[in-house]
Amino acid sequence: MAPKFQGVDFYQMDGLLSEEERAIRDTVRSWVDDNLMPVIGECYIEGRFPKQLIPHMAELGLFGANLPEEYGCAGLNNVAYGLIMQELERGDSGVRSFASVQGGLVMYPIYAFGSEEQKKKWLPELASGKLIGCFGLTEPDFGSNPGGMITVARETKTGWVLNGAKMWITNGSTAGLAIVWAKTGKLEDQSSIRGFIVPTDAKGFTAKDQKGKLSLRASDTSELVLQDVEVGKDALLPKSGGLKSPLMCLTQARYGIAWGAIGAAMACFDEAASYAKNRVMFGKPIGGFQLQQSRLAEMLTEITKAQLLCLQLGRLKDAGTMTPQQVSLAKRNNVDMACECAREARRLLGANGILAEYQSMRHLANLESVYTYEGTHDVHTLVLGQEITGLNAFN
């Protein structure tokens, strides 16, 4: 059995955290060691999400952790929220994706764009894990360009009728509720995009798992099809309007992902460093050879940089001054460096590195999805480019 994870803290960042932030991080770290690590290898191979852990995660308060206590949430600050995502992804990106979606992409839009009735009706149930949600923005033909979506919502006497399809939707097949983004006006009119709370048992709503994934296997990824789905007037998120609304949700999720990637990188580095000290070849541990040391030094450097980046980002978010472009920089950098860490760790592990018994290759595969989703690496590059130059290079 693997010993308990000790974390990576080369620059004594623990000293920059409050006692509560450390305690929260340590609680989730411990929980992951005891409950997730023993099952994740098997879940990944079998291609299933460990849903037996959902009630436990809810009890701890992991869903919508940075939303207010009055809605049944933990009311934590954003650094604590980030640390939670870091520790979950140290376990597995798919499990962290579940929490990101539930908290950042389902509970957050209801909190930010919903009416008081909607908040009181849905948030406590989502916080409790009894109701699972999913976020329907991406479409089969509209990934990096969500503004081009063709899912539509037409107003009726009693409410709305939705038609369209969404793809790559985490939690889609297990969700009881979907936050669906649809155009209420002409297809060319991005400003007509509104958000809708759609119960997944509504007539005309189907969700189907996407099979054959080689990444995020311990996560449910689905297609959603809406065929004349009727919802009441109370389904509309009244304060939503335009592409800005779903993008604000993505900013929340991306913030968590920037932290999460550090977790995955720490897991791979820790595994590689431990292996390097124990694995003997040519009469000494492989950690004594220059090329392996170089790998480990690179990993530690990148992790340390990313940690400091995220801590400042979290403090800015708590101060209310964080910008989406700042999140883009962190997501882009951290996921990229995590991909490198995972790959180099896998290589250091040699043949053992291809076994599910070791974590690095699973993280390596998962991180490819994390690199692509929530704004691909390239998209965030252009976000920064536009921020720097003022010039739009998207099209």
Partner 1 sequence: MKIAVCIKRVADSETRVKIAADGTSLDEAGVKFILNPYDEFAVEEALKRKEAAGAGEVVAVAVGGASTQETIRTALAMGVDRGVLLQADTGAADPLAVARALAAELKGGGYDLILLGKAAIDDAHQAVGPMTAELLDLPCVTAITKLEIAGTSGTAEREIEGGVEVVAFPLPAVLTCDKGLNEPRYPALKGIMAAKKKPLETKPFQGSGGGLQVLGMTLPPERQEGKIVGEGAVAVPELVRLLREEAKVL
Partner 2 sequence: MSNVLAVLEQRDGALRKVSLEVITGARRLADALGGTVDALVLSAGSVTGVDQVGAIGADTVTTATNAGFARYAPEGFARAIADRAKGGGYGAVVLAATATGKDLAPRVAARLGAAFGADVTDLGVENGAVIATRPVYAGKAQLKVKLAGTPVVLSLRPNVFTPVRSPKAGIAQTVAVPGDAGRVVVREIKAAPAGSLDVAEASIVVSGGRGLKEPANFALLEQLVAAFGGKAALGASRAVVDAGWRPHGDQVGQTGKTVSPSLYVAVGISGAIQHLAGMRTAKCIVAINKDKDAPIFKVADYGIVGDLFEIVPKLTEEIGKLQQ
In the block, which residue shows the tokens 């409950």? Answer: 35
Q: Interface mask (CB under 8 A) for partner 2, residues 3-22, using x and -?
A: x-------------------
Structure tokens at 273: 């460093």
Q: Is 351 in the site for partner 2 (CB under 8 A)?
A: no
Minimum gap (Å) between residue 50 Cβ and partner 2? 17
Give the residue with the Cβ less far from partner 1, 28 or 303.
28
Give the residue with the Cβ less far from partner 2, 1 or 388.
1
Given the residues 139, 223, 271, 374, select the one marked as catalytic: 374
Q: Is the CB of residue 331 less than 8 Å from the CB of residue 257?
A: yes
Give the residue with the Cβ less far from partner 2, 3 or 320.
3
Q: Is 50 in the site for partner 1 (CB under 8 A)?
A: no
Q: Is 259 in the site for partner 1 (CB under 8 A)?
A: no
Partner from partner 2, partner 1, none binding residue 128, C-beta < 5-8 Å depending on class: none
- Whole-number Cα distances in Å, 172 to 220, 370, 379: 7, 17, 25
Q: Is the CB of residue 107 less than 8 Å from the CB of residue 126?
A: yes
How big is the chain, counted in residues? 395
Structure tokens at 164: 């369209």
Does the CA dihedral 237-243-246-251 come out positive or negative?
negative
Structure tokens at 172: 């889609």
Buried/exposed code over 13-25 (b: 16+ C-beta within 10 A; e: otherwise):
eeeebeeebeebb
Q: Is 280 in the site for partner 2 (CB under 8 A)?
A: yes
SS3 138: coil
Q: Is 20 in the site for partner 1 (CB under 8 A)?
A: yes
Q: Is 52 in the site for partner 2 (CB under 8 A)?
A: no
Q: Is the CB of residue 194 less than 8 Å from the CB of residue 240?
A: yes
Helices 93-100 and 360-372: crossing angle in degrees, nearest 10, is: 40
Q: Is 236 in the site for partner 1 (CB under 8 A)?
A: no
Q: Is 279 in the site for partner 2 (CB under 8 A)?
A: yes
Pick from 69, 70, 228, 234 the residue near partner 1 by CB under 8 A: 69
195 φ/ψ angles, rounded to the nearest 5 degrees:
-105, 145
Greatest Cα pair distance in the chain: 80
Minimum gap (Å) between residue 73 Cβ and partner 1? 8
Give the residue with the Cβ less far from partner 2, 39 or 384.
39
Instruction: Tell me the number of residues near partner 2 by CB under 8 A.
Output: 5
Give the residue with the Cβ less far from partner 2, 126 or 349.
349
Q: Is 70 in the site for partner 1 (CB under 8 A)?
A: no
Minimum gap (Å) between residue 254 Cβ and partner 2? 37
Looking at the DSSP bridge assignments, the partners of residue 281 are: 284
Told to judge if 59 belongs to the known catalytic residues of this protein, a careful annotator would answer no
Task: Give residues 117-136 in contact with partner 2 (rule: CB under 8 A).
Answer: none
Q: Is 1 in the site for partner 2 (CB under 8 A)?
A: yes
Q: Apex CA 342: angle with CA 337 and CA 347, to 5°?
A: 125
Q: How many Å apart are CA 221 and CA 214, to the nearest integer?
A: 12
Q: Is 278 in the site for partner 2 (CB under 8 A)?
A: yes
Neighbours of 126 (CB within 10 A): 26
Footprint of partner 1 on this chain (CB under 8 A)? 3-4, 6, 19-20, 23-24, 27, 30-31, 59-62, 65, 69, 74-76, 80, 84
Footprint of partner 2 on this chain (CB under 8 A)? 1, 3, 278-280
Active site residues per annotation: 374
